[in-house]
């Protein structure tokens, strides 16, 4: 017997559930803390005595420390989320990255900075995957795309907030603000309930959070790898093109590019991209089609960013915003990864996939540094951008469509 229109929960009431709102706010704090380094990279390094010609090199070292932490944290928190529950990660990860970011405000040496960026990276790795897993499991399949869009939109607003806070306060205070927001959000999390799907699986003898079930099974490993590769262009744009926008601007003859402003504009664009991709996915009833559209648009914007002549800062910043819009398939790609796997492995996948993509910044940055002496900044960026886009589109082609997939299943050995 179906519910009447009067008794059926409204879309808004379902989206306003406590787990959805708390997951969205958690991603906001996560993105604030994650991208604050990109915003304050230059002033913080200068304050620690780094010379102008070493800003790029030392910046990449610190970025790699953060991303290495996220790689390790992605595996750690994903396994914990499937073995102990989604809530254990939502509590543990936010405590770790909040305290680490407060610590960032006290650093006096590059070594301290690198260690704390690593610890923060481990903590930050758990937030999005656990949140997306929880949202996809508590919402009906017909509207879970709206839920993940809400999470993505608030998350991206966190990156924008990082710019404005850093603009108002000194870089050390900006880190304190991020850590403080995380500790305040921790209080709200005491009202969150666990996923019903996970509770049911927990009652049975099912192997949970065993990453070897992915790595030793050809079919699962292929799906897992393809899901990771689909996201590569996003973090090439964020980790290379936007983070090091002053260097790319200088190579195009533009001086005075502010990395913090480039980050803020890119993520302002991504807010609209996340909303647009989520709504378009619901309209087309397809994840794959929308992701393909956004990867293609991203490639065009990469070429414009690197190859089109720009005579003023406005044109450069406009392309940064458009690049951000094209990155708006970030949450869709994590959602499709979560939907590909059963409840006993879902959090492991949803947490590790985005962090392996983030961690891909390390080899991408290494390739960029390797090619730069011979090819120059622009040509090196173009080569890597073309390669990541081609790999992403190829991988997307072989992924299954998951829009209407039932999430209530488990993976068996």
pLDDT per residue as tens digits for the range 250-260: 999 898 898 88
Q: How far apart are CA 4 and CA 377, in angstroms?
A: 61
Per residue in 104-116, pLDDT (tens digit) is 999 999 999 999 9
Using 50, 70 and 90 to split pLDDT, how confident is the model at 7? very low
| 412 lies in some domain | no
Q: What is the pLDDT averaged over residues 151-172? A: 87
Q: What is the mean pLDDT of the chain?
A: 88
Entry pTM: 0.80
Using 50, 70 and 90 to split pLDDT, how confident is the model at 90? confident
- pLDDT surpassing 90 at residue 35: no
Q: What is the pLDDT averaged over residues 75-103? A: 91
| 406 lies in some domain | no
At 379 the pLDDT is: 94
Give Cα separations from 165 to 65, 158, 176, 244, 326 (angstroms).
Answer: 24, 10, 11, 20, 25
Using 50, 70 and 90 to split pLDDT, how confident is the model at 12? confident
CA 317 to chain centroid, in Å, comes to 21
163 or 8: which leads in pLDDT: 163
Closest alpha carbon to 198 in 308, 282, 109, 83: 83
At 8 the pLDDT is: 54
198 or 119: which leads in pLDDT: 119
| 4 lies in some domain | no
Q: Which residues contact 110 (CB under 8 A, 6 or more apart)?
A: 48, 50, 58, 61, 62
Q: What is the pLDDT averaged over residues 326-340? A: 89
Handedness of CA 92, 98, 101, 107 (dihedral sign): negative
Per residue in 346-388, pLDDT (tens digit) is 888 988 998 888 888 888 988 988 998 889 899 999 999 999 9
Number of structural domains (the chain) is 1
Contact 347, 81 (CB under 8 A): yes
49: left (phi > 0), else alpha (psi -120 to 50), else beta?
left
Q: How far apart are CA 46 and CA 74, in angstroms?
A: 31
Q: How far apart are CA 175 and CA 106, in angstroms?
A: 9
- pLDDT surpassing 60 at residue 1: no
Structure tokens that stand for 409 in this block: 């299943």
Return the CA Rg of the chain. 20
Q: What is the pLDDT averaged over residues 263-272? A: 86
Contact 318, 259 (CB under 8 A): no
Q: How far apart are CA 96 and CA 116, in angstroms?
A: 10
Which runs of E-coded beta strand occur in 65-119?
Answer: none
At 280 the pLDDT is: 94
What are the backbone dihedrals phi and psi of residue 6, each rounded to the nearest 5 degrees, phi first? -70, -35
| 202 lies in some domain | no
CATH, residue 251 = 1.20.1250.20
Most confident of 119-133, 286-300, 334-348: 286-300
Q: How far apart are CA 401 and CA 370, in angstroms?
A: 37
| 198 lies in some domain | no
- pLDDT surpassing 50 at residue 316: yes
Using the 8-state DSSP alphabet, how is residue 54 labeled? G
- pLDDT surpassing 50 at residue 313: yes
Range(s) of the domain holding residue 266: 17-189+207-398
- pLDDT surpassing 80 at residue 194: no
Q: How many residues are there in the chain?
A: 413
Using 50, 70 and 90 to split pLDDT, how confident is the model at 263? confident
| 218 lies in some domain | yes
| 409 lies in some domain | no
Q: How far apart are CA 310 and CA 323, in angstroms?
A: 15
At 39 the pLDDT is: 84
- pLDDT surpassing 90 at residue 317: yes
210: left (phi > 0), else alpha (psi -120 to 50), else beta?
beta
Report the SS3 class of residue 208.
Answer: coil
- pLDDT surpassing 80 at residue 9: no
At 244 the pLDDT is: 86
Percent of the chain with pLDDT over 90: 44
- pLDDT surpassing 70 at residue 2: no
205 or 69: which leads in pLDDT: 69
- pLDDT surpassing 90 at residue 224: yes
Using 50, 70 and 90 to split pLDDT, how confident is the model at 338? confident
| 107 lies in some domain | yes
Using 50, 70 and 90 to split pLDDT, how confident is the model at 264? confident
What are the backbone dihedrals phi and psi of residue 48, each rounded to the nearest 5 degrees, phi first? -90, 5
122 or 405: which leads in pLDDT: 122
């Amino acid at each position: 017997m179906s519910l009447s229109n009067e008794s059926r929960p409204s879309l808004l009431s379902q989206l306003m559930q406590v787990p959805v709102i708390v997951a969205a706010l958690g991603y906001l704090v996560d993105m604030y803390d994650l991208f604050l380094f990109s915003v304050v990279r230059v002033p913080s390094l200068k304050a620690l005595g780094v010379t102008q010609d070493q800003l790029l090199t030392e910046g990449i070292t610190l970025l790699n420390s953060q991303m290495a932490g996220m790689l390790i944290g992605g595996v750690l928190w994903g396994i914990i989320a499937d073995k102990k529950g989604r809530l254990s990660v939502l509590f543990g990860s936010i405590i770790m990255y909040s305290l680490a970011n407060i610590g960032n405000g006290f650093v006096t040496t590059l070594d301290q900075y690198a260690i704390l960026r690593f610890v923060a990276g481990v903590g930050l790795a758990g937030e999005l995957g656990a949140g997306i897993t929880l949202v996809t499991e508590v919402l009906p399949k017909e509207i879970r795309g709206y839920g993940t869009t809400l999470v993505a939109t608030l998350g991206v607003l966190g990156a924008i907030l990082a710019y404005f806070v850093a603009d108002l306060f000194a870089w050390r205070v900006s880190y304190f603000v991020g850590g403080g927001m995380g500790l305040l959000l921790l209080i709200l999390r005491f009202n969150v309930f666990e996923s019903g799907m996970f509770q049911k699986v927990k009652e049975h003898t099912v192997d949970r959070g065993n990453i070897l079930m992915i790595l030793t099974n050809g079919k699962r490993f292929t799906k897992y790898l393809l899901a990771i590769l689909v996201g590569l262009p996003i973090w090439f744009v964020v980790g290379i093109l936007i983070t090091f926008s002053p260097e790319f601007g200088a190579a195009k003859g533009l001086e005075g590019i502010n990395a913090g402003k480039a980050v803020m504009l890119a993520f302002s664009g991504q807010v609209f991209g996340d909303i647009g991709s989520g709504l378009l996915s619901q309209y087309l009833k397809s994840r794959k089609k929308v992701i393909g559209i956004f990867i293609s648009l991203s490639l065009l914007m990469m070429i414009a960013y690197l190859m089109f002549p720009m005579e003023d800062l406005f044109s450069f910043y406009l392309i940064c915003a458009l690049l951000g819009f094209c990155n708006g398939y970030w949450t869709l790609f994590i959602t499709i990864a979560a939907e590909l796997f059963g409840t006993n492995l879902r959090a492991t996948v949803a947490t590790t996939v985005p962090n392996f993509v983030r961690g891909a910044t390390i080899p991408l940055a290494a390739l960029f540094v390797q090619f730069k002496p011979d090819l120059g900044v622009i040509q090196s960026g173009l080569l890597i951008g073309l390669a990541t886009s081609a790999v992403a589109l190829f991988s997307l082609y072989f992924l299954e469509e998951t829009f209407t997939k039932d999430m209530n299943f488990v993976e068996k050995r």
